[in-house]
Homo-oligomer: A and B are copies of this chain.
Amino acid sequence: MYSFTCDYTEGAHPKILERLAETNFIQEPGYGEDSFCASAKERIRKAIACPEADIFFLTGGTQTNCTVIDGLLKPFEGVIAAKTGHIAVHEAGAIEFSGHKVLTLPQHEGKILAEELSAYLKGFYADDTWPHMVRPGMVYISFSTEYGTIYSRAELEAIKSVCGKYEIPLFIDGARLGYGLASPAADVSLQDIARLCDVFYIGGTKVGALCGEAVVFPIGDAPENFFTHIKMHGALLAKGRLLGIQFDTLFTDGLYMEISRHAIDMALKIKEIFASCGVPFFMDSPTNQQFPILTPDQMAALDGKVAYEIWERLPDGRAVTRFATSWATKPEALEFLALLLPNS
C-alpha cells in the first residue's frame, strides 16, 4: 500500500542520513554553536544572496511560527492571516498561547489579496475605536499555501507594498517553500522570496529533513536576543548539529530544489492520471498537493490499496480528497495508482 496522505510519511533524504552517520562522533558544542550550523547558514546566505542574513534553526512549523510572531509583535499586537492560514486553524492556538490574536482576512484559494489587506488596514485606523482593538502588527502568508497555491511575484510585491505603507513586517511561512518554488507556475525564486519579505522560513520537515525549519531575517535584523527568545519558547534544540547537518546537506549542490522539483514532477503526474480519467479537481493546484474530487466508486477502487486524505465530503456522495507528493514519492507508486483507477 502506498500513502499520499501527506508530505511527511518517510524519514529523510538518504544523503542526510549518510551525513549524520559520517559526522556522528565529531564532538561539537550544543545549541546551534556547532560548525555544521555555521556552514549551513553560510550556504543559505549564498543561496538567497543575502550575506548579512540572520538565520536560526528550529525544529517544527508551529513552533517556528509562534516563536517568530511572538518575537516581532508588541504585546498588544496581532498577526494578520488568511482565514485558512495554518496559524489560524491548525496550530491549536499556539499564537494565542503566546498572547497574540490572529486577525483573519478572507482567503482566495488559500491566499490573501493585497487590496483586501489594504482595505482592512485602512478601515482599522479609520475606526475611532481602534485603540480598543488589537493592532495589526504583522502579515503572515504561506508559500505555498495550505491549499497548494502560490503567490505570484506581482501579488507578493503588492502585499509587501501594503506592509511597507503601514510599517508592519511580512512573514512567509515556508513549510512547503521548496514545493512552491519548484512549481512550473512559480515566477519567483528563493532570492525573490528573501527580497520580498521581512522574515521567512525554509521548511525542512516536509522537504527532505527529519525535522527542522530555517528562519531567515534576510537583512540581518533579527530581534535582539532572539536566541533567548527561542529558548524561552522551548524551541532551542540542544543538539543543534541535527539541524545544522540537515540544512547543510539540503543546501549542498542544490539538493533542496532538486528534491522539491521531484515532488512537483510527481504531483503533475498525479494530476495527469486523474485528469485522464475525467476526475475534476477542487482547485487547480500547481504544487505538491492535489485535490481531486472522487466518486464513491473511485474511492472504493483505491480503498485499502492507496491512502489519501478526505478533505470534505460533498452532499452528492463524492469527496474532495488530497493527494500529497514529496521528495520521497516513488514513480512506481504513481504507476500503481494509475492502474487502480476504474477508467484509466
Q: What separation, in Å, do the CA atoms of A78 and B94 have in the docked complex? A: 11
Say whether, besides A60-B237, A92-B134, A101-B96, A229 and B76 are in contact (CB < 8 Å): yes
Q: What separation, in Å, do the CA atoms of A107 and B53 have in the docked complex? A: 43
Provide the residues of chain B in CB contact with A305, threshold 8 Å. Answer: none
A48 at the interface (CB under 8 A from B): no
Q: What separation, in Å, do the CA atoms of A11 and B210 have in the docked complex? A: 14
Interface residues on A, range: 35 or more
- How close is A44's CB to chain B, nearest CB, in angstroms? 21
A227 at the interface (CB under 8 A from B): yes
Q: Bits for A1-32, please: 1 = Cβ < 8 Å to B, else 0.
A: 01101101111101001001101111111110
Stretch at the interface among A67-75, A256-264, A336-344: A67-75
For A210, give its contact among B9, B132, B223, B239 (CB under 8 Å).
Answer: B239
A63 at the interface (CB under 8 A from B): yes
CB nearest neighbor in B for A73: B75
A40 at the interface (CB under 8 A from B): no
Across the interface, do B62 and A234 meet the contact criterion of CB distance under 8 Å? yes
A241 at the interface (CB under 8 A from B): yes
Q: What separation, in Å, do the CA atoms of A26 and B63 have in the docked complex? A: 26
For A92, give its contact among B9, B26, B70, B76 (CB under 8 Å).
Answer: B76
For A94, give its contact among B24, B30, B231, B241 (CB under 8 Å).
Answer: B231
- How close is A234's CB to chain B, nearest CB, in angstroms? 3
A-B pairs with beta carbons under 8 Å apart, 6 shown: A3-B27, A60-B234, A62-B236, A76-B93, A96-B99, A96-B134
